Amino acid sequence: MTDSPTSAQSAAPHPADHPVYVVGGGPGGLAVAHALRARGVRAVVLERSDRVGDSWRRHYDRLRLHTTRRLSALPGLPMPRRFGRWPSRDDMVRYLEKYAEHHRLEIVTGVEVSRVERAPDGAGWLLRATGGRELTGAAVVVATGYNHTPRLPDWPGRDAYTGELLHAAAYRNARPFAGRDVLVVGVGNTGAEIAVDLVEGGASRVRLAVRTPPHIVRRTTAGWPSQYSAVLVRRLPVGLVDRLCRVQARVALPDLSAHGLPLPRSGLYSRVLEGAIPVQDVGLVDAVRRGAVEVVAAVEGFEGGEVVLADGDRIAPDAVVAATGYVRGLEGLVGGLGVLDDRGSPVVRGARTPDHAPGLYFTGFTSPISGNLRELALDAERIARAVSRAGAGVSRLPG
């Protein structure tokens, strides 16, 4: 799995000898590589770290999937029943390792692709990578992941802040924060889980800074996972789903308005289409109701050792954990090709390629209501079909 990829200089010049390069050895990249291999297409995965699934290894310890084991498996290999309904972080890492081994995927680790360009002869793509490598592929699948580069807002006074400030990407568990006053910034799923983890791990005080109250859903209701409902309603009109979710929220969840988390005015599915995934409740609702997690206004900036909030309050926590999301980090890779929108996301994804960039595919750059891993699996099959249909210049596996 660690054979060196062929350089542009040593490769045969005919485009038929060029593989499909898959940039990224996470679940999206591995799924596409298998789907291509199953269709007889040679796919080479390029992973910048020294092992597959590296980003999953760096998640916080208590992480469990919010999607079920059955609907989170990648093509060609079910997840073991021993993982339970909600696989853990370590389960996911083991699964990705097994997936690569089981399907005998061609993976090259320790190679970071810095730039993707059109090949000089116009046939295929040129990838510039570490060590001066220049690799030519008939097609390229970019699978570097939705959570690629931690985003830390440029808050006024941030650099002079005298307290501890870290991005959620650097958070592992609550042990370093036992007995301390901690502010968590951001109420997505990561921020919500870290806040609960800090409470359970013995932090003396936990506050959660919220700019826009999220939609909160029960992970299961009477044994029925919310993901199942999400899959069922995905093709329904947005307005109808918004109304159904509002009714369900009023029935299934307590009113947290008095605690700073009112039900959002905009609908759940409308928010999803804007990129705001609902928070799966794994203890946040109870922690907020009993005051273990205090909801405060959004962070506006820092002054010395204090955090300035949007409502004018100033607080002085011992540590601030910024669960403020990630950026796609695609500008350096493909920024000169006109394939990104004004937010740095691909203009088309899945089996579609930009009209002026045929053979360039993207997967894993959305957060669908039905679950990211499920969509990655579907995307992989679609991309493999598209590549196989295009055919021209793609290396085929022997036999």
With respect to residue 399, please indicate whether it lies within any of the assigned structural domains: no
Mean pLDDT of 291-300: 98
275 and 164, same domain (yes or no)? yes
Instruction: Report the CATH number at residue 63.
Output: 3.50.50.60
Domain boundary among 322, 345, 365: 322
247 and 370, same domain (yes or no)? no
Q: What is the pLDDT of residues 314-344, one digit of tens each?
A: 999 999 999 999 888 899 999 989 999 998 8
112 and 163, same domain (yes or no)? no
Domains in the chain: how many in total?
2
Q: What is the pTM of this model?
A: 0.90
171 and 113, same domain (yes or no)? no
The whole-number pLDDT of residue 183 equals 98
The whole-number pLDDT of residue 369 equals 84
Predicted confidence band of residue 17 (pLDDT cuts 50, 70, 90): low
With respect to residue 7, please indicate whether it lies within any of the assigned structural domains: no
Predicted confidence band of residue 105 (pLDDT cuts 50, 70, 90): very high
With respect to residue 395, please indicate whether it lies within any of the assigned structural domains: no
With respect to residue 3, please indicate whether it lies within any of the assigned structural domains: no
Query: Which domain, by its residues, includes 171?
Result: 151-322
Domain boundary among 322, 342, 366: 322
Q: What is the pLDDT of residues 76-89, one digit of tens each?
A: 999 999 999 999 99
Domain boundary among 272, 301, 322: 322
Q: What is the pLDDT of residues 223-261, one digit of tens each?
A: 899 999 999 998 899 999 999 999 989 999 999 999 999
292 and 366, same domain (yes or no)? no
Mean pLDDT of 360-367: 91
Mean pLDDT of 193-208: 98
With respect to residue 131, please indicate whether it lies within any of the assigned structural domains: yes
Predicted confidence band of residue 2 (pLDDT cuts 50, 70, 90): very low
181 and 156, same domain (yes or no)? yes
174 and 273, same domain (yes or no)? yes
With respect to residue 10, please indicate whether it lies within any of the assigned structural domains: no
With respect to residue 337, please indicate whether it lies within any of the assigned structural domains: yes
The whole-number pLDDT of residue 51 equals 94
114 and 49, same domain (yes or no)? yes
121 and 259, same domain (yes or no)? no
132 and 264, same domain (yes or no)? no
284 and 193, same domain (yes or no)? yes
With respect to residue 397, please indicate whether it lies within any of the assigned structural domains: no
Q: What is the mean pLDDT of the chain?
A: 91
Per residue, the 3-state secondary structure of the chain, as one string, reads CCCCCCCCCCCCCCHHHECEEEECCCHHHHHHHHHHHHCCECEEEEECCCCCCHHHHCCCCCCECCCCCCCCCCCCCCCCHHHCCCCEHHHHHHHHHHHHHHCCCEEEECCCEEEEEECCCCCCEEEEEHHHEEEEECEEEECCCCCCEECCCCCCCHHHCCCEEEEHHHCCCCHHHCCCEEEEECCCHHHHHHHHHHHHCCCCEEEEEECCCCCEEECEECCEEHHHHHHHHCCCCHHHHHHHHHHHHHHHCCCEHHHCECCCCCCHHHHHHCCCCCEEECCHHHHHHCCCEEEEECEEEEECCEEEECCCCEECCCEEEECCCEECCCHHHHHHHCCECCCCCECCCCCCCCCCCCCEEECCCCCCCCCHHHHHHHHHHHHHHHHHHHCCCECECCC
29 and 139, same domain (yes or no)? yes
Q: What is the pLDDT of residues 22-78, one digit of tens each?
A: 999 999 999 999 999 999 999 999 999 999 999 899 999 999 999 999 999 999 999
